[in-house]
């Protein structure tokens, strides 16, 4: 798949980030590991010059994994020496880039798992990334609704701690009264949508979504397989029987939106989601648990006083909001400004993190984004409705 990159490319690209934006610019004593890597491991930074085409990354038999590891060791050692000796005026410029580089690497920790899962899923041997895990079959939690009054609200990062530029500036939005489902949509509920011919009824689909369904032949979420014994799904622990109580995962925005229409509901806007999540502990089933798959009941105790379960972890939640800049947003100058701003078109916002997201990477204001047809991300949905 053109969106998938080999693990060694992720390892090299995150190393390239530190080399390019810190060492090459601020360390006069640094010696580049290999000049060719500037072409091989640039992702999309036009200001940094040409790059190897993304769809062809999987064809790179060289450099080997060992050489990529040596590249990482070389850059990590150089960063360590530089940090120890950096003068205060330089450090003031470098410290934000180091933090950004660490956050960038956390993003690629998630992408590595997404990409490994896709590559393994199309291998006829269906290999497992990790050992099979005990699967507990239990009924889904009852679906309830939490009501929010709406009104004039503030959204966006409040300014304490790290945030990506796309989370700012904090600004006011007006919300009409709304309700959010107290839990995520489950595989069992999504199976009902399939069994009621949801994938063959155009009345539920956006025009682009219906065209994609017809073109791609979608009949179920990515990694679902129908067999004589019923439905199974492919996980990072290999294939296993579908658990109806688990949150549905690996659906596109088009599928999430179609399901919501079929259910007589809608997707929440990102402002509704963020307002509802205020005060909820950022805790749940993240990559740190080592499970790497959505859990049926998440970690309900993490919600604190909120009635909303699984707001964080398990699956990224599609919202109805297009990925556009907040009012008064201005991208940073230079190549760093390409990090987020250049993608603010033809994508949709997701919130909350997933089972492959590092736990310390997510915030209430965090804005993830993918094209509406993307399915290899760990994405699911929560229903919303208007209060009449």
Question: Helix/strand/coil (H, E, C) string of 242-273?
Answer: CCCCCECCCCCHHHHHHHHHHCCCECCCHHHH
SS3 for 154?
strand
pLDDT at 301: 46
| Strand ranges inside the chain, DSSP E | 145-148, 151-155, 171-175, 178-181, 224-227, 230-235, 238-241, 316-322, 348-351, 368-370, 379-380, 384-386
Instruction: Answer yes or no: are the C-beta atoms of 48 and 335 closer than 8 Å.
Output: yes
What's the CA gap between 189 and 174, in Å, rounded? 32
Burial of 338 (C-beta count, 10 Å sphere; 0-12/13-18/19+): middle
What's the CA gap between 368 and 199, in Å, rounded? 26
Say which residue the tokens 């994405």 belong to: 379
What's the CA gap between 11 and 24, in Å, rounded? 19
Burial of 138 (C-beta count, 10 Å sphere; 0-12/13-18/19+): exposed
User: What pTM, to 2 d.p., does this model score?
Assistant: 0.95
Per-residue pLDDT tens listing for the chain (388 residues): 899 999 999 999 999 999 999 999 999 999 999 999 999 999 999 999 999 999 999 999 999 999 999 999 999 999 999 999 888 889 999 999 999 999 999 999 999 999 999 999 999 999 999 988 777 677 888 899 999 999 999 999 999 899 999 999 999 999 999 999 999 999 999 999 999 999 999 999 999 999 999 999 999 999 999 988 899 999 999 999 999 999 999 999 999 999 999 999 999 999 999 999 998 999 999 999 999 999 987 554 444 567 899 999 999 999 999 999 999 999 988 889 888 889 999 999 999 999 999 999 999 999 999 999 999 999 999 999 999 8
Q: What is the set of domains in the chain, with CATH numbers?
A: 7-121 (no CATH), 145-386 (3.90.1580.10)
Give Cα 248 distance to the centre of its chain.
Answer: 15
């Amino acid at each position: 798949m053109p969106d998938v990159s080999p693990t060694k490319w992720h390892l090299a690209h995150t190393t390239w980030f530190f080399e390019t934006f810190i060492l090459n610019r601020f360390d006069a004593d640094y010696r580049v590991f290999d000049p060719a890597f500037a072409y091989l491991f640039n992702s999309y930074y036009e200001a940094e010059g040409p790059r190897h085409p993304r769809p062809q990354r999987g064809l790179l038999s060289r450099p080997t994994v060992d050489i990529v590891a040596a590249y990482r060791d070389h850059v990590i050692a150089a960063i360590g020496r530089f940090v120890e000796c950096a003068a205060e005026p330089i450090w003031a410029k470098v410290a934000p880039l180091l933090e950004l580089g660490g956050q960038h690497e956390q993003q690629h920790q998630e992408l590595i798992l997404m990409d490994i899962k896709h590559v393994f899923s199309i291998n006829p041997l269906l290999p497992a990334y990790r050992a099979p895990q005990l699967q507990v079959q239990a009924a889904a939690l009852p679906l309830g609704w939490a009501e929010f009054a709406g009104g004039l609200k503030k959204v966006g990062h409040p300014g304490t701690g790290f945030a990506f530029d796309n989370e700012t500036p904090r600004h006011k939005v007006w919300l009409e009264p709304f309700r959010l489902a107290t839990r995520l949509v489950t595989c069992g509920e999504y199976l009902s949508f399939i069994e009621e011919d949801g994938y063959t009824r155009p009345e539920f689909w956006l025009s682009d979504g219906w065209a994609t369904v017809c073109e791609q032949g979608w009949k179920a979420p990515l990694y679902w397989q129908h067999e004589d014994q019923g439905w199974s799904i492919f996980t990072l622990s290999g294939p296993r029987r579908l658990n109806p109580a688990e949150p549905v995962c690996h659906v596109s925005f088009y599928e999430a939106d179609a399901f919501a229409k079929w259910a007589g509901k809608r997707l929440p806007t990102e402002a509704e989601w963020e307002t509802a999540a205020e005060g909820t502990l950022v805790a749940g089933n993240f990559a740190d648990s080592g499970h790497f798959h959505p859990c049926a009941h998440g970690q309900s105790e993490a919600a604190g006083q909120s009635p909303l379960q699984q707001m964080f972890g398990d699956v990224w939640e599609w919202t109805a909001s297009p990925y556009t800049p907040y009012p008064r947003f201005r991208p940073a100058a230079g190549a760093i400004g390409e990090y987020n701003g250049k993608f603010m078109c033809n994508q949709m916002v997701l919130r909350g993190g997933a089972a492959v997201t590092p736990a310390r990477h997510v915030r209430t204001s965090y804005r993830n984004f993918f094209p509406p047809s993307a399915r290899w991300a760990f994405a699911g949905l929560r229903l919303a409705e208007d209060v009449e």
